[in-house]
Copies of this chain bind each other. A is one copy, B any other.
Amino acid sequence: MNAAASALHGQAIAQAPAPPPSPTSGVAPARVALLGTGTVGGAVLARLASWRGRAIGERLQLVHVANSRRAAADAGGLLPEHAATALAASELRSSLDTVADALRGDGARVVIDATASEAVAERHAQWLAQGIHVVTACKIGQGTSLARWRAIREACAAGRVGYGDSATVGAGLPLLRSLRELQAGGDRIHAIAGVLSGSLAWLFNHYDGMRPFSTLVRQARDAGYTEPDPRDDLSGEDVRRKLLILARAAGVALEAGEVQVSSLVPSELAILSAESVDAALPALDAPLRDRYAAAYKNGEKLRFIARLQDGAARVGLESLPADHPLAGGAGTDNKVAIWSDRYSEQPLVVQGPGAGAAVTAAGLLDDVLRLAH
């Protein structure tokens, strides 16, 4: 087990809740840099602010906040509730080169990556090798090339630090943790299958073969369930990254191209400019109506599934028996089934909100607390 995994396992079993170090214990609070102040970063600040005056809040000290333009730093600690104002007023230009310096001091050092930035992901391994824990909601670090994933794992070991990735898949639902715990207990993972996209979950929980699929897509987009360009969801590329992260955590070192992704976006829709997409959405309707009819005839349900089985990974629409553990479900919940030595017939199933700023921020801070304890 590498340092990251062992740090994530290091939770006391019997104490509920895990007792924080008392203020008199002499343990310096962990020093935290938050990168990204969008909806997730904002929710991290709000959660930190809600901990003011609680023992849990004493364990972390926010010393650096940055978005893509500006940064604000205070070695003595920024108040989370004022960080956004401080940032807006700051004249400090944001630079990733300053982050390690800003974290200098006693105690554990942690970078929280709440960006969607390639440039930040590129730095993960470097920070880890410097002995700085990295906690991320961004899938670009571990969910893209195998080389980058390996660099992160090796840097964890070299820096004797942890990589907090709970928020990258399922926004902190116990998915990666369960995979790792099963393996720590001697199990081999046989298969993983899941609904890993809240928007695609919602679409197929609601699609009844009557109303055009494109109508539902517009509805999901207008409700904020999909990205502004719904092709980003319908392509399955986001799910590919999540499945890569799960597969690699399960011991299958797949290269990104080895995941077979069946996009829902027909080629005539894929080539359009963003402005032309809405009008062309009805191109989705006929193929899905046919697939729905075929599933319905067999008493089955259409679900957009990410699956790792027999060492192969694929993402796309599946027609599942109505009593399959992944066929039920409502709303935008993520739902993942794990088969292993002990769960060889009936899988372990974890279900719950797998997206949204609040659960993602909570998942990030879970990892920070665990790594920095």
Contact = CB atoms under 8 A, between A and B. Distances in A.
A51 B157 CA distance: 26
Nearest to A339: B8
Most buried by B among A249, A323, A365: A323
Interface stretch (A11-19, A61-69, A114-122, A236-244): A11-19
Contact of A14 (B19, B50, B164, B333): B164
Indicate how many identical chains form the complex.
2
Interface in A345-363: 345-353, 358-359, 362
B191 A156 contact: no
A185 B54 CA distance: 12
A185 B369 contact: yes
B1 A19 contact: yes
Given A13-B166, A54-B186, A189-B13, A351 B352 contact: no
Contacts of A220: none
Contact of A180 (B18, B330, B352): B18
A259 interface: no
A6 B21 CA distance: 11
A153 B305 CA distance: 43
A190 B1 contact: no
Interface stretch (A171-179, A221-229, A273-281): A171-179
A7 B309 CA distance: 9
A186 to B, nearest CB: 5
Interface in A156-171: 156, 162-166
Contact of A343 (B166, B178, B330, B359): B359
Given A56-B186, A178-B174, A186-B54, A163 B365 contact: no
Given A5-B347, A180-B11, A339-B8, A188 B325 contact: no
Count chain B CB atoms within 10 A of each CB in A309, A346, A347 and give the residue with the most: A346
Given A1-B20, A17-B180, A366-B181, A12 B188 contact: yes
A9 interface: yes
A211 interface: no
A278 to B, nearest CB: 29
Interface string A180-199: 11011111111100000000
A56 B188 CA distance: 13
A308 interface: yes
Contacts of A359: 342-343
Contact of A184 (B5, B7, B340, B369): B369
B346 A1 contact: yes
Contacts of A164: 13-14
Contacts of A173: 348
14 contacts: A1-B345, A7-B309, A8-B339, A9-B344, A10-B310, A12-B162, A13-B177, A13-B189, A13-B308, A16-B251, A17-B183, A173-B348, A185-B362, A351-B351
Interface of A: 1-20, 47, 50-51, 54, 56, 153, 156, 162-166, 172-174, 176-181, 183-191, 249-252, 308-311, 320-321, 323-325, 328, 330-331, 333, 339-353, 358-359, 362, 365-367, 369-371, 373
The 7 A-B pairs at the shortest CB distance, nearest first, are namely A16-B251, A12-B188, A17-B183, A1-B18, A185-B366, A14-B251, A18-B184
Given A14-B153, A349-B349, 16 more contacts: A1-B19, A13-B189, A13-B310, A13-B367, A14-B188, A17-B184, A17-B251, A56-B186, A172-B342, A174-B178, A184-B366, A331-B346, A342-B362, A343-B352, A343-B353, A351-B351
